[in-house]
Chains A and B, each alone.
Chain A
Amino acid sequence: MSEPTPAKDNPQPTAPEPSEESVLVRRAQRADLVAYDELIRRYQERIYATIYHMTSNHEDANDLVQDTFIKAYQALKSFTGGSSFYTWIYRIAVNKTINFLKQRKNRSHMSLNDLDFNAENDPDLVALVSDKTPRRDAGLAELQNKLNEALLKLSEPHRLVVTLHDVQGLAHDEIAAIMDCNIGTVRSRLFYARQQLQALLADYLK
């Protein structure tokens, strides 16, 4: 298994310069909200995306991303720099989301975001909808619905690995650091999750 393809397929930028980041963190630790605002702006899209892909619900993701940054601010004094701030805040977001999903359990309902304009022009997606899918009438919206339903059927750790690797483009070692497990576990979870998804979405992948 390889690392995710970086350049154009990876929608997430890499983590910023550590020194620049650590200056902002130190300022935020001294209750400088301007610095913390800068840190939020750097990571909000990635944190939101992770939570959104885990919950398939925009409102829940909005609440959780806010709670994540507030909790991180409260706990900022305990951040010693043992890991990058990026990994640390991801961990908070992931723990918060998994706790939320455990409590929500069978009460999940989807509130999906709209697809952006580029989706209709993405050659891979166009091919999936028109050429390779036996159900040629399936539009992107239906495909989006089915994909989210299938993702919600995975267990939280499996969904998280697929989200971080195949959707967000994080490397195995980064995922291992976020999930606090070894790379082998990440790989096996990814393999199992993909197998499950492949079975659940077989009609759309032939």
Chain B
Amino acid sequence: MKADQEFEALRRLLKLKRHEQPPPRFFNELSGEIIARLRAGSIEDRREPMDRVQWESPLLARIIDLFQTKPVFAGVFGAAMCGLLLAGVLYSQKIDSRPPTLTGLAGPTVAEATDTQTSAFVGTTGLDGKPGTVTNSIFDLLQPTVPRNVAWPAEKK
């Protein structure tokens, strides 16, 4: 009550706003214009992209709104994205510096292994049993079958 008395003069002045009226017949025509816009064409196509975002993804709309009101966030976000992209490019270059080589079942030698930094599988022993050899594929881990001479017993006559 006290607050209302304190602002009584202001409230009386604000009453002036209630006397501001749009041009005559404005309200008679307004609903007709809206309905005509609704009837004309596909409403879906008339939607502004931001309106669609706002209804379909409110979180994204909030982020965009934040960027619009505080451009510094947009700058920070852009810088972070550029940093991530750069880091990704550098990392992929490091990974792809040498494509993995297919080697025979014996696998690369120790000398090759020291060159091959990016081999997929580095074991303590190679397929040939030598320590320190490098395998490039999971299939290299399979033991090769070595043919053996078999002596059949002689037939009894």
Contact = CB atoms under 8 A, between A and B. Distances in A.
Interface in A45-71: 45, 48, 52-53, 58, 61-62, 65-66, 69-71
B34 interface: yes
Contact of A66 (B12, B16, B33, B43): B33
Dominant SS at the A interface? helix
A74 B14 contact: no
B128 interface: no
Contact of B35 (A40, A112, A140, A167): A40
Nearest to B18: A11
Dominant SS at the B interface? helix
Contacts of B4: 1-2
Contact of A37 (B23, B35, B65): B35
A205 B17 contact: no
Nearest to B9: A205
A53 B17 contact: yes
Interface in A66-100: 66, 69-71, 73-75, 78, 99
A99 B65 contact: yes
Nearest to B15: A124
Interface residues of A, number: 57
Interface of A: 1-2, 9, 11, 33, 36-37, 40-41, 44-45, 48, 52-53, 58, 61-62, 65-66, 69-71, 73-75, 78, 99, 102-103, 112-116, 118-119, 122, 124-125, 127-128, 132, 140, 143-144, 147, 162-163, 166-167, 191, 194, 197-198, 201, 204-205
Interface of B: 1, 3-4, 7, 9-23, 26-27, 30-31, 33-35, 37-39, 43-44, 46-47, 51, 55, 65, 68-69
